[in-house]
Amino acid sequence: MSTTFNYKHLYYFWVVAKEGGISRAADKLDMAVQTVSAQVRELERSLGYALLKPAGRGLVLTAAGLAAMQQADQIFQLGEDLPARVRDAVSAPTVRLAVGICDGLPKLVVHRLIQPVIAEPHLRLLCHEGNLNDLLGDLALHRLDVVLSDRPAPVNPNIKLYSHNLGSSTIGWYGNAAMLKDAGKDFPQSLADVPMLLPTPHTAVRDRLDQWFEQRAIRPR
């Protein structure tokens, strides 16, 4: 990186990229358009690459700009966390636990898993819900301490993490009396003849159900 690199220039570029144009960024920053444009040009000059290019009436990121934007997102996210980190450091002693919760995991299961730590004195529990890949990215950046998921983390040599099986459960079938009567005649093949409400495809339990259906040549409705 050039020694003339300036984080203020990076911040102005970051705002321009998020707002989709220099004029909107200037309004957000309460600065003159010429000033913002000059700051972005200085950043491009220090890095040696164009970061933005015209597209219609706005601007879009170049390949170099996309790489810079990804780094800027991390840098300024950490900056936004700084006041809270400092405040926590000088306040009463607390135990901070940031938990990522996979959106495919039932919340009653989550509650039972974290129940043992809820009674911890001075606990500051932060829960963030999202898809597994995003949560693992936050875990790698130390924004999260642990991720609760319905499946093991995929193998990634660039991320040091460990998956532990915390438990399992059986799968139950539920329906009204008429459906149960119809489905019970030739179970499980009868499941192809009754309407089904299944978990969404991105959940681990759906993967297991699909495999179970395929092994038995059942095509659910």
**60, 84, 108 — which closes off a domain?**
84
pLDDT of amino acid 127: 92
Query: For residue 195, is it within any domain?
Result: yes
Answer whether residue 55 is part of any domain.
Answer: yes
- What is the number of alpha carbons within 13 Å of residue 183 lying toward its C-beta? 17
Amino acid at 127: C
- Long-range (24+ apart) CB contacts under 8 A made by 185-194 are 188/216, 188/218, 189/216, 189/218, 191/218, 191/220, 192/218, 192/219, 192/220, 192/221, 193/221, 194/221
DSSP state of 50: -
CATH number for position 18 = 1.10.10.10
Q: What is d(CA 101, CA 103) in angstroms, rounded to the nearest whole number?
A: 6
Exposed / middle / buried, residue 153 (Cβ in 10 Å: 0-12, 13-18, 19+): middle
Domain that holds residue 73: 7-84
What's the pLDDT tens digit per position in 155-179?
877 777 888 888 888 888 888 888 8
Give this prediction's pTM.
Answer: 0.52
CA angle (140 as vertex; 138, 142 as ends), nearest 5: 70
Distance of CA 61 to the CA centre of its chain: 22
If one counts the domains in the chain, the total is: 3
Whether residue 165 sits in one domain with residue 104: yes
Q: 113-153, pLDDT tens digit by residue?
A: 998 888 888 888 899 999 888 898 888 888 899 999 988 88
